[in-house]
A = this chain, B = another copy of it.
Amino acid sequence: MTTGLDVEAVRKDFPILQRRVHDDRPLVYLDSANTSQKPRAVLDALAGHYELHNANIHRAQHVLAEEATAAYEGGRDKVAALINAPSRDELIFTKNASEALNLVANTLAWRSPYQVGPGDEIVITEMEHHSNIVPWQLLAERTGATLRWFGITDDGRLDLSNIDELITERTKVVSLVLVSNTLGTLNPVAAIAARAHEVGALVVADACQAVPQMPVDVTALGVDFLAFTGHKMCGPTGIGGLWGRREVLEQLPPFLGGGEMIETVRMTGSTYAPLPYKFEAGTMPIAEAVGLGAAVDYLTGIGLDAIAAHEREITSYALDQLHGVPGLRIVGPDTPVDRGGAVSFTLAGIHPHDVAQVLDSVGVAVRAGHHCARPVCDRFGIQATTRASFYLYTTRDEVDALVRGLDEVKRVFA
Residues of A participating in the B interface, judged by any CB pair closer than 8 Å: 15-16, 19, 21-22, 27, 29, 31, 34-35, 37-38, 42-43, 46-47, 50-52, 54-56, 59-65, 94-99, 101-102, 105-106, 110, 126, 129-135, 137-138, 142, 147, 149, 229, 231, 236-240, 253-254, 256-262, 264-267, 269-270, 281-288, 353, 356-357, 359-360, 364-369, 371-372, 374-375, 378
Q: Note all chain B residues with C-beta closer than 8 A to A94.
A: 95
Contact of A110 among B47, B142, B259 (CB under 8 A): B142
Contact A43 B38 (CB under 8 A): no
Best-surrounded residue of A22, A372, A378 (most CB of chain B within 10 A): A372
Contact A257 B61 (CB under 8 A): no
* CB-CB under 8 A for A62 and B131, given A267-B126, A374-B265: no
Contact B258 A130 (CB under 8 A): yes
The residue on B at minimum CB distance from A22 is B63
Contact B374 A266 (CB under 8 A): yes
CB-defined A-B contacts under 8 Å, sample of 25: A16-B52, A16-B64, A21-B63, A31-B55, A42-B50, A60-B368, A61-B356, A61-B357, A61-B360, A62-B356, A62-B366, A96-B284, A98-B282, A99-B256, A130-B258, A131-B257, A132-B258, A133-B267, A134-B261, A134-B270, A236-B287, A238-B284, A265-B374, A266-B374, A266-B375
Q: Note all chain B residues with C-beta closer than 8 A to A256.
A: 98-99, 102, 106, 135
Q: Note all chain B residues with C-beta closer than 8 A to A22.
A: 63
Q: Note all chain B residues with C-beta closer than 8 A to A54.
A: 16, 35, 37-38
Copies in the complex: 2
**Distance between Cα atoms of A97 and B21 in the complex (Å):** 37
Contact B357 A260 (CB under 8 A): no
Best-surrounded residue of A55, A56, A231, A258 (most CB of chain B within 10 A): A258
**Distance between Cα atoms of A131 and B280 in the complex (Å):** 11
Contact A259 B59 (CB under 8 A): no
**Distance between Cα atoms of A36 and B307 in the complex (Å):** 39
**Distance between Cα atoms of A147 and B132 in the complex (Å):** 34
Contact B61 A258 (CB under 8 A): no
Contact B51 A265 (CB under 8 A): no
* CB-CB under 8 A for A270 and B137, given A47-B47, A56-B34, A102-B257: yes
